[in-house]
Amino acid sequence: MKKLNAEQTLDVSGIYDDETLHEYLSARLGFPGFYGMNWDAFWDCITDDNMSGMPKVLKIKGIEDLRRLAPETEQKFSKCLSEYLTEILDRKVIFE
């Protein structure tokens, strides 16, 4: 099991598509090298502490910018995080 940070901030402003967001998330959250760069793989990684460094509290900055630049990407990302919170009850996601 990877060591979990208490809190981490991600800044998604300036991201303009799925591919760029997946690359950023993979690097920042420590996903494995075989990460599939898609939303199913994202789900698998964030819900398995052996595959990511998801913190107890994840702060997301720039969500409005992502929504403006890549609305479909923002919807998929936000939906995954919303569902994550219903599955992993001891975690928080804060949109700043």
Residue 89 inside a domain? The answer is yes
Helix axes 71-87, 18-29, angle to 10 degrees: 40
Domain that holds residue 54: 7-95
How many structural domains is the chain composed of?
Answer: 1
Residue 21 belongs to domain with CATH number = 3.30.370.10
Q: Is residue 90 packed enough to be buried (19+ CB in 10 Å), middle (13-18) or exposed (0-12)?
A: exposed
For the entire predicted model, the pTM comes to 0.91
In order, the DSSP letters of 13-77 are TT--SHHHHHHHHHHHHT--TT--SSHHHHHHHHT-TTT----SEEEEE-HHHHHHH-HHHHHHH
For the chain, 96 residues long, give each residue's pLDDT as a single digit of tens.
455 578 999 999 999 999 999 999 999 999 999 999 999 999 999 999 888 888 999 999 999 999 999 999 999 999 999 999 999 999 999 998
